Amino acid sequence: MKIKIVKALPKYLKPKPDSAKLGFGKHFTDHMFTMKYKEGDGWYDPVIEPYQLLQLDPTAMCLHYGQEIFEGLKAYRGKNDEIYLFRPMENIRRMNVSADRLCMAPIDETVFFNALKQFVWLEREWIPREPGSSLYIRPTMIATEAALGVHPSSEYLFFIIAGPVGAYYAHGFGPTKIYVSEEYVRAAPGGTGNIKSAGNYAMSLYASRVASDMGYTQVLWLDARENKYVEEVGTSNIFFVIGDELITPPLGGTILPGVTRDSVIKLATHLGVKVNERRLAMTEVIDTIEKGTLKEAFASGTAAVISPVGQIYFQKKEYLINEGKTGALADMLYNEILQIQYGIKEDPFGWRVQID
């Protein structure tokens, strides 16, 4: 499928933001990729065009029935101006899993990947040169059929936008404080916890506000059925180092299969760390903290890569982990993954994909 490219006129190109003040999700590039779908016709009109507003009918089904999915990945600039993506096929495959779960139209992997490559290459000057910074990429699909009544849409819009983002830890790699929610849950068995859909994030906002009001950075979610087993933290996967094991909850339909999560598991195993995917009750977490066998905890995700956890609030009590400091394994994994992403060191897994 040939992609049409319509470049923005020079007079409409945006000034590049100050690389020291990028933040996250505040700035966007000059172009976007769009492609439409209609039942019976399939996907058509793939085009990279100037960034612009979307035009939607007020009855567009994404506005009423939640058929919206998205992905998040990054492009990185190497030391000699090479442009890299990190495990992009995993994001592409995961988006199609999300599409299937919400009865949306899948996208051919080759078409998706070619669109991603051409879009990133066109916008390569937007990839920052500052250490730790990158170009965040947001592929999204929305239902656009103009109709009311609950049913799968017959029309969709797929688009890709991107924007430069700064180093997540602009002031140093430090631990976060997390709040264990026993009143609210993120996902239930048989639901949509294993996909990236808008509704999953909307329903997390209230508990996140409760945590924030109490001075905590993220919410640690427990399972919906028994309200006792650790599942995720914020919008990330969670890991604990207990004894000589790296432990993370198993994927079971309620946990997002994070690309960084999978990378951490594979990298840790490669480095000789014993990894155990098993259910972990919150009472066990507290017990191991009190016994001193829980050495460190951290979250994993695209935005931060690794987020050390220094403190947990559970049942009206605060617990320090590793004296509130970043653990050695979290620090090592963070640096190892970043060096692979930026082309600084050898990639033994074939995760790094160069764009040219």
pLDDT, one tens digit per residue, over 60-103 is 999 999 999 999 999 999 999 999 999 999 999 999 999 999 99
Given this model, what pLDDT does residue 227 score?
96
Residues 337 and 192 in one domain: yes
Residues 152 and 182 in one domain: no
Given this model, what pLDDT does residue 171 score?
55
In a domain, residue 354? The reply is no
C-alpha span between 297 and 241 (Å, rounded): 6
In a domain, residue 219? The reply is yes
E-assigned strand segments in 30-170: 31-38, 42-50, 68-70, 73-77, 83-86, 134-143, 155-165
pLDDT, one tens digit per residue, over 152-200 is 999 999 999 999 999 876 556 789 999 999 999 999 999 999 999 999 9
Given this model, what pLDDT does residue 169 score?
62
In a domain, residue 351? The reply is no
The domain that contains 217 carries what CATH number? 3.20.10.10
- Residue 26: Cβ within 10 Å count: 12
The domain that contains 123 carries what CATH number? 3.30.470.10
- Residue 49 corresponds to which tokens in the numbers above? 């065009």
The per-residue b/e assignment along 78-106, b for 16 or more CB within 10 angstroms, e otherwise, is eeeeebbbbbbebbbebbbebbeebebbe
**Which residues form the domain of 161?**
4-165
In a domain, residue 157? The reply is yes
Residue whose token pair is 């049913």: 151
Q: Among 116, 146, 165, identify where a domain stops.
A: 165
User: Has this prediction a pTM greater than 0.85?
Assistant: yes
In a domain, residue 133? The reply is yes
Q: By the 8 A CB rule, do 237 and 268 touch?
A: no
Q: By the 8 A CB rule, do 355 and 75 touch?
A: yes
Given this model, what pLDDT does residue 27 score?
97
Residues 292 and 185 in one domain: yes
In a domain, residue 349? The reply is no
Residues 155 and 8 in one domain: yes
For residue 314, which of 291, 289, 293 has the smallest C-alpha distance? 289
In a domain, residue 152? The reply is yes
State the total domains in the chain: 2
In a domain, residue 347? The reply is no
Averaged pLDDT, 205-222:
96
Given this model, what pLDDT does residue 19 score?
86
Residues 335 and 280 in one domain: yes
pLDDT, one tens digit per residue, over 2-33 is 999 999 999 999 999 998 889 899 999 999 99
pLDDT at 247 over 60: yes
Residues 263 and 126 in one domain: no
Q: Among 165, 195, 230, identify where a domain stops.
A: 165
Averaged pLDDT, 132-159:
98
Given this model, what pLDDT does residue 131 score?
86
Averaged pLDDT, 261-290:
98
Residues 203 and 313 in one domain: yes
Q: Among 165, 199, 228, identify where a domain stops.
A: 165
The answer for residues whose C-beta is within 8 angstroms of residue 223's C-beta and 6 or more apart is: 185, 229, 231, 254
Residues 242 and 125 in one domain: no
Residues 207 and 328 in one domain: yes
pLDDT over 90, % of the chain:
95
Residues 334 and 199 in one domain: yes
Residues 160 and 220 in one domain: no
Coil, strand or helix at 13: coil
C-alpha span between 261 and 205 (Å, rounded): 23
Q: How far is CA 155 from CA 39, 67, 72, 218, 294, in A?
A: 6, 11, 23, 36, 50
For residue 220, which of 312, 307, 293, 316 has the smallest C-alpha distance? 312
Q: What is the DSSP letter of 251?
A: P
For residue 94, which of 162, 189, 193, 195 has the smallest C-alpha distance? 195
The answer for residues whose C-beta is within 8 angstroms of residue 175's C-beta and 6 or more apart is: 307, 308, 309, 310, 311, 321, 322, 324, 325, 326
Residue whose token pair is 């559970």: 314
Averaged pLDDT, 118-143:
97
| AA letter at 123 | E
Residues 159 and 191 in one domain: no
Residue whose token pair is 């139209």: 105
